[in-house]
Amino acid sequence: MCGIAGVAFSDPLRQVDRVGLRRMTASLRHRGPDGEGFHGGPGVGLGFRRLAIVDLATGDQPIFNEDRSVAVVCNGEIYNHARLRARLSAAGHRFATASDVEVIVHLYEEAGDAFVDALHGMFALAIWDAKRSRLLLARDRFGIKPLHYAIARDALLFGSEQKAILASDEIDVEPDFVAMRQLLTHGRVRSPRTLVAAIRSLPAGHLLSWSSGRVERRRYWDAAFPARDAYDHRRTAEDWSVELRDRLEAAVRSHLQGEVPIGAWLSGGIDSSAVAALASRFVDGRMPTFTMRVDDPRDDELAGARALDAWPEYRLDGHAVVTGAADFASMPDAVRASEGSILATTGIGQHRVARASSARVKVVLTGEGSDETLGGYSWYPTLRRLAPVFLLPRTLRRALSRVPAVAHRWPGAAYTIAGPREMGLERYSRSVSHLPSQRIAERIVSPEAAAAMQRREAVDAGEPPLPHDFERWHPFAQMQYLDLKHRLGEGVIVSLDRASMAHSIEARVPFLDHELVEFCARIPPRVKLRGGIEKRVLRDAMAGVLPREIATRPKFAMRVPVERWLRGPLPEFAREALSASSLRASGYFVPEAVDDMVARHRAGVEDCGQAISAVLTIELWDRLFRTSRAWGAA
């Protein structure tokens, strides 16, 4: 695990500014505090910061092929590298290290861009092909590892984080107002946009090539589901649950590779508990686990409940990490880490747990991905009940979506019944998230910012289209796809990566083993929600593995009660960011409207917690990244 950065030029003979390359790479030191490496040649510069986990002795990067014509820097883990190494060695390739990353250069020699299809793991990587003067960027199927790029002055700049590109001093930091609107209404920025107009995020499951100043981007993998009438109903619910357990166990075992201590984050729910319980079977000694607790019992979801580490048979070394209102003061650090891609308040708890974990382990396993692949959110039972409606003609569905009683029955039902193509993907996705920020945003955004948001909304940022057969899927599967792409890929995973790597911790997500996800996509919705119970197939799979108390427990989340904290004494940074002078200086919001919103929230008249969090995130981003350039300060 590490951070990568670099530059490729249109002119294949141009030499890299080594001082600038070192500055870009140094901005990622938190992602790799154990060492650094560089390659500078005609047309290219590659930088690397290392968090040593696999092949501690010889795993430095960049890594080259036999004649040094192909170089790679990679942030990630390749879980099937041993099998790939054996195959490539048999084909005559010579290996110079024991690193999992070295298989990439030899796979590229064998298969060209198709090398990526053979990789099982999480990765963001850059390959330099010197013979073709070509740079290739690749990001894993779910975007577990981040990768950003920008084009400036006949060069392509890239980095694990936007900080690396900003450190080049080659681009101007101007806001992307459409991204800002997305943050206000969704709580996250949609890929490929970022809050910096000149910087783009490479979407998950994509390749990007740069050669002679030409950019080409293509998708190499996408989640897919059967047509609604093509599920295998011959298999019993038990058949599905048994195979799920076996596949999850195999995924967890593959995620335990490395030469450093490994732990797990526990939320108290079934997802993280399943991962920790299965991992404990293969770890020598007691595996450290870390569970977040909130110091106020009113907000502690685990109050009165036990985490998995309370059962001695699992051999877990449990650590409770207590967070409270005092941790609200760390929000600027969360914004610095997330670079404004998500509401920074969502990561406060994870930052607290990551900081505590870093004293004992370098790697943690987590339960992210289960809700999206197995239907763990509250809207999935409703979607299954609405399934017959989706068999109606589109015109009738459109009419039904406008019936007031339908909209009253379930918030967002109108958009959901009409469907994402009819209502627009963005509104459809927002409709099931229950975010109140849309109407609040309309009240608080300044006229100038609102005009910029609308003016630039039509500009195509290159968002990947929906699959061609999307309409044939069950509505349950359609929502799973959107959750995988947006809620997970642009929210949950971003928060996890930035919080963990800010403290030099590698977070691994076994539920996002792509073969496991592809299997889960084939499980019929009736099995996933049997008896109206969310993630029922996982609960059945974990019977006999987890204590019944945990296997039947409702969903838990590693979240902090920001809404309540915003009604208490505000930290100095929040008072300053929400002040009229600060808001006027940035120009994004109407100070009087923000003041009224905060007052209504603090008085309990209206829940404006999400919107206030968005305002704080944007104002802090503006201060840290645009006006003061303090993004590199800890």
Annotate 244-290 with three-state secondary structure.
HHHHHHHHHHHCCCCCCCEEEEECCCHHHHHHHHHHCCCCCCCEEEE
Q: Which residues, 6+ apart, have CB-to-CB distance to 153 below 8 Å?
A: 170
CA neighbor of 183 nearest in space, from 340, 351, 330: 340
Residues of the chain with pLDDT under 70: 1, 299-305, 384-395, 397-438, 456-463, 556-558, 631-634
CA distance linking residue 271 with residue 251, whole number of Å: 14
Domain boundaries, given as residue ranges, for the chain: 2-219, 563-627
Q: Are 331 and 620 in contact (CB under 8 A)?
A: yes
For residue 271, CA distances in Å to 364, 468, 510, 541, 564 come to: 14, 32, 10, 12, 27
Question: In CATH, which superfamily holds the domain spanning 2-219?
Answer: Aminohydrolase, N-terminal nucleophile (Ntn) domain (3.60.20.10)
CA distance linking residue 525 with residue 271, whole number of Å: 18
Residue 281 CA from chain centroid, whole number: 28
Q: Which residues, 6+ apart, have CB-to-CB distance to 188 below 8 Å?
A: 182, 341, 342, 343, 486, 490, 491, 494
Residue whose token pair is 């195979």: 243
Note the pLDDT of residue 268.
80
Note the pLDDT of residue 22.
96
Note the pLDDT of residue 315.
92
Note the pLDDT of residue 381.
75
Q: Are 473 and 481 in contact (CB under 8 A)?
A: yes
For residue 371, CA distances in Å to 119, 206, 401 come to: 24, 23, 27
Per this entry, what is the length of the chain?
634
Amino acid at 270: I
Instruction: Count other Cβ atoms within 10 Å, centred on residue 329.
Output: 14
Name the burial class of residue 326, with classes exposed (0-12), middle (13-18) and buried (19+) by CB atoms within 10 angstroms of its CB: exposed
% residues pLDDT > 70 (the chain): 87
CA distance linking residue 583 with residue 590, whole number of Å: 7
CA distance linking residue 237 with residue 230, whole number of Å: 17
| Residue 593 token pair | 């409207």
CA distance linking residue 611 with residue 581, whole number of Å: 19
* DSSP assignment of 567-605: TSPPPHHHHHHTSHHHHHHH-SB-HHHHHHHHHHHHTTS
Beta partners for 364? 263, 507
Angle at 622 between CA 621 and CA 624, to 5 degrees: 60
CA neighbor of 492 nearest in space, from 342, 340, 290: 342
Q: Please, what sign has the CA dihedral across residues 422, 425, 430, 433? A: positive
Beta strands 363-365 and 506-508: pairing type?
A: parallel
Beta strands 363-365 and 262-266: pairing type?
A: parallel
**Strand arrangement of the beta sheet that strand 316-323 belongs to:** 316-323, 287-294, 262-266, 363-365, 506-508
584-612: burial string, b at 16+ Cβ within 10 Å, e else:
eebebbbbebbbebbeebeeeeeebbbbb
Note the pLDDT of residue 423.
47
Q: Are 495 and 501 in contact (CB under 8 A)?
A: no
CA neighbor of 22 nearest in space, from 1, 39, 2: 39
CA neighbor of 93 nearest in space, from 67, 119, 74: 67
Q: Are 591 and 580 in contact (CB under 8 A)?
A: yes
Q: Which residues, 6+ apart, have CB-to-CB distance to 419 below 8 Å?
A: 390, 394, 397, 428, 471, 475, 478
Query: In 3-state terms, what secondary structure has residue 231?
Result: coil
| Residue 364 token pair | 């943690």
CA distance linking residue 390 with residue 228, whole number of Å: 11
| Main-chain phi, psi angles of 86, to 5 degrees | -60, -45
- Strand segments (E) across 309-458: 316-323, 363-365
Residue 280 CA from chain centroid, whole number: 26
Beta partners for 382? none
User: Which pTM does this prediction carry?
Assistant: 0.93
CA distance linking residue 278 with residue 87, whole number of Å: 29
Whether the ω angle into residue 393 lies within 30 degrees of 0, i.e. cis, is no
For 293-393, where are the alpha helices, taking DSSP H only? 331-338, 348-357, 370-374, 379-385
CA distance linking residue 259 with residue 55, whole number of Å: 7
pLDDT, tens digit, 9 for 90 and up, residues 574-621: 999 999 999 999 999 999 999 999 999 999 999 999 899 999 999 999
pLDDT, tens digit, 9 for 90 and up, residues 595-604: 999 999 999 9
| Main-chain phi, psi angles of 265, to 5 degrees | -95, 130
Beta partners for 122? 77
* DSSP assignment of 419-441: -HHHH-HHHHHHHTTT-THHHHH
Residue whose token pair is 């490929």: 192
Whether the ω angle into residue 465 lies within 30 degrees of 0, i.e. cis, is no
CA distance linking residue 292 with residue 319, whole number of Å: 9
